[in-house]
């Protein structure tokens, strides 16, 4: 019998998770399908329990459900620290919550040959994605600076991240100096996302050739930030890498199988290239 997997969110129409997971299932010859369902926060508990009752293999969660799910499942230590769940594993009679966003970001950097321990990382933004990325990078030995329009929010996140590594929080008023001092700059904000594709927090004149610019935005594929980084000769990593590699980790959690990363990535890039 076919095993079903799904992503829940509200909205969820934009999700590319079905594209990459179904490509992996097809390549591996697995009798599985992955779908997306619009689920509100009020209906999340019933939806999760319903999926388990119907024999689903596992779930992903996206905005705005990640935080609420924390109270509905048994989170692993990382998900609990991050305060958000994006992957649910049906383990026996239990519901185990994981967060693979940070792992996806770290693996995206590693796949580009970037050394993380002892690196100085500037994270732009202090939302959910920043939280997951900061925790994972700090626990991998990076020195984290979180810069946000609201300095108090950045400072609060940095204080939490300090439980696993070195982190400080600040505002954006000294952004030029912060960029200059950093080895890796990661944009976790929505700045530059479609339709405001001409926006960027960091411009080419602020960058150096040895720096790494990682933009979690993947619509468009080439954000203005990445274009500015390319002009400066910096190393670039786009948001597709994290999207795919967090999905790879979810796939492993559910199935115990290493999926074909290249096939998953190509499937996503093909879809985005047509948009």
Residues involved in catalysis: 66
CA–CA gap between residue 136 and residue 142 (Å, rounded): 9
Helix residue ranges, H only, the chain: 17-28, 44-53, 66-69, 77-82, 101-111, 128-139, 151-161, 175-180, 224-232, 239-255, 261-273
CA–CA gap between residue 106 and residue 179 (Å, rounded): 20
Backbone phi, psi, residue 82, to 5°: -70, -30
CA–CA gap between residue 146 and residue 218 (Å, rounded): 21
CA–CA gap between residue 125 and residue 177 (Å, rounded): 16
CA–CA gap between residue 136 and residue 226 (Å, rounded): 23
CA–CA gap between residue 208 and residue 196 (Å, rounded): 25
Alpha carbons within 13 angstroms on the beta-carbon side of residue 21 total 28
- For 156, counting Cβ atoms within 10 Å of its Cβ (0-12 exposed, 13-18 middle, 19+ buried), the class is middle
Q: Give which of 122, 89, 94, 88 is closest to 9, Cα–Cα.
A: 88
Compute how many other C-beta atoms are within 10 angstroms of the C-beta atom of residue 28. 15
Helix (H) or strand (E) run with residue 171 in it: none
């Amino acid at each position: 019998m076919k095993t079903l997997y799904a992503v829940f969110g509200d909205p969820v129409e934009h999700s590319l998770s079905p594209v990459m997971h179904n490509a992996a299932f097809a390549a591996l010859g697995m009798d599985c399908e992955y779908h997306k369902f619009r689920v509100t926060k009020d209906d999340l508990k019933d939806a999760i329990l319903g999926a388990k009752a119907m024999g689903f293999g596992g779930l992903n969660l996206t905005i705005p459900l990640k935080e609420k799910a924390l109270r509905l499942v048994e989170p692993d230590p990382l998900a609990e620290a991050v305060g958000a769940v994006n992957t649910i594993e049906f383990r026996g009679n239990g519901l185990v919550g994981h967060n693979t966003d940070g792992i996806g970001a770290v693996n995206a950097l590693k796949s580009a040959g970037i050394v993380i321990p002892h690196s100085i990382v500037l994270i732009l933004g202090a939302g959910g994605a920043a939280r997951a990325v900061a925790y994972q990078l700090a626990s991998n030995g990076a020195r984290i600076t979180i810069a946000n329009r609201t300095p108090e929010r950045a400072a609060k996140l940095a204080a939490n991240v300090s439980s696993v590594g070195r982190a400080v929080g600040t505002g954006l008023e000294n952004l030029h100096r912060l960029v200059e001092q950093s080895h890796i700059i990661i944009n976790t904000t929505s700045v530059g996302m479609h339709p405001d594709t001409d926006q960027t927090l960091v411009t080419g004149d602020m960058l150096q050739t040895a720096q790494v610019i990682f933009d979690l935005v993947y619509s468009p594929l080439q954000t203005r930030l990445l274009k500015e980084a390319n002009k400066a000769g910096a190393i670039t990593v786009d948001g597709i890498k994290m999207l795919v590699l967090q999905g790879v980790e979810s796939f492993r959690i559910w199935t115990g199988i290493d999926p074909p990363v290249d096939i998953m990535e190509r499937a996503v890039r093909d879809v985005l290239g047509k948009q």
